[in-house]
Chains A and B, each alone.
Chain A
Amino acid sequence: DAGVIQSPRHEVTEMGQEVTLRCKPISGHNSLFWYRQTMMRGLELLIYFNNNVPIDDSGMPEDRFSAKMPNASFSTLKIQPSEPRDSAVYFCASRAGLVNEKLFFGSGTQLSVL
């Protein structure tokens, strides 16, 4: 298996632009997580899905952020409009089973908003 695949690897955009980050989880995994990592706040859970259904989006910072999982093999995280404070590394992770199972992380998307 290729693991969790995220794209793009790097994204540089200007303030006000729409940004879409993409994630392909490992086949057969039923839970998908979006995390944001910054120096100041560490690794924050933004949202997670179970069987394609959003379960907890309490970590989504504001209405500018939205996430979808239209099927078991694809998820997007969208920021519209983007702001410089959104600059961070965004990770997608997937898992088979419940909380005691291993999380598999993608390599992340480095987002820079100028």
Chain B
Amino acid sequence: AQSVTQPDIHITVSEGASLELRCNYSYGATPYLFWYVQSPGQGLQLLLKYFSGDTLVQGIKGFEAEFKRSQSSFNLRKPSVHWSDAAEYFCAVGFTGGGNKLTFGTGTQLKVEL
């Protein structure tokens, strides 16, 4: 069965510092990969997605992610974090033939120190 691992439950960074959130998936086929962000009391919002082509994808709010097949990873990055980026971030994976459903990781809570 497909699975997603986000090894970091909590991350704290200083405003202006760079950020990398880790995501690993398991499945044999080429995945569709997503990063979603959840602000307190809100539903999830899509940041970016990858399903083919260039392995470095750009998203909203200055975020980017890189698909590395050899490492089964899809890490999220941002060069300079803003206080408003404090939220919970979810990695998700889907596969054709996987029943059209997404499997979400357990999330990484990002705290930004001013």
Contact at A107–B43, with CB atoms within 8 Å?
A: yes
Question: Looking at the complex, which one of A4, A31, A91 makes contact with B100 (CB distance below 8 Å)?
Answer: A31
Chain A hits for B46, CB < 8 A: 102-103
Q: Quick check: is B14 within 8 A (CB to CB) of the other chain?
A: no
Instruction: Tally inter-chain residue pairs, CB-CB below 8 A.
Output: 60
A32 vs B102: C-alpha distance when bound (angstroms): 12
Contact at B32–A42, with CB atoms within 8 Å?
A: no
Q: In this complex, which of A31, A93, A105 has the most chain B Cβ atoms within 10 angstroms of its Cβ?
A: A105
Contact at B99–A56, with CB atoms within 8 Å?
A: yes
Question: Looking at the complex, which one of B43, B90, B103 makes contact with A106 (CB distance below 8 Å)?
Answer: B43
A91 vs B90: C-alpha distance when bound (angstroms): 14
**Interface membership of chain B positions 64-106, coded 1 if the CB is closer than 8 angstroms to chain A and 0 otherwise:** 0000000000000000000000000010001110111111111
Chain A hits for B105, CB < 8 A: 42
Chain A hits for B98, CB < 8 A: 99
A33 vs B36: C-alpha distance when bound (angstroms): 16
Q: List residues of A whose CB falls within 8 A of some B CB.
A: 4, 31, 33, 35, 42-43, 45, 48, 50, 55-56, 91, 93, 98-100, 102-103, 105-108
Q: List residues of B whose CB falls within 8 A of some A CB.
A: 32, 34, 36, 41-46, 49, 51, 90, 94-96, 98-107
